[in-house]
Amino acid sequence: MHVHRVLYVSSPPDLFTQANLTAQLEHILSAMLSDVTCVSELLSSLCPPALPHMPPVTCKLLWLHALKERVSGPMTKVRELAPDLLAGDSGWKLRQAYTAVINTIEK
């Protein structure tokens, strides 16, 4: 069994620098925005899947509920854990897209 050791000449790389955290948070916001955009496209272009053992209205309601949970779960977490993320420009875009999707679902 070989044990590998990593020797650092100066100091170990700091994974939690402000620049790294900012980049990761921007990546999270952009992933959330793309997910909300995907749900918006699903709402406008596709019909809900038809299940043979359920009436069409029930299928549509279940589909809409699942889409709402898909976008509202992560948004709730961001609002609880890091509300300052939504204060920036990308946060504003995410809030606008999220509000539009929720309003479309609740019609």
pLDDT digits (tens, 9 = 90+) for 48-107: 777 788 888 888 888 899 999 999 998 998 888 888 888 888 888 999 999 999 998 888
Domain limits for position 32:
18-105
Q: Is residue 79 part of a domain?
A: yes
In angstroms, what CA-CA distances link 97 with 11, 13, 71, 102?
Answer: 43, 37, 10, 9
| pLDDT band for position 2 (cuts 50, 70, 90) | low
Q: Is the per-residue pLDDT at 14 higher than 70?
A: no
> What is the pLDDT, as a whole number, of residue 65?
92
d(CA 96, CA 61): 24
Give the residue among 101, 64, 94, 100 at the shortest CA–CA distance from 79: 94
Domain count, the chain: 1
Q: pTM (2 decimals)?
A: 0.73
In a domain, residue 13? The reply is no
Q: How many CB atoms lie within 10 A of CB 45?
A: 7
Task: Identify whether 62 is part of a domain.
Answer: yes
Return the SS3 of 2: coil
Give tens-digit pLDDT for 22-52. Answer: 778 888 888 999 999 999 998 887 777 777 8
Residue 75 lies inside a defined structural domain of this protein: yes
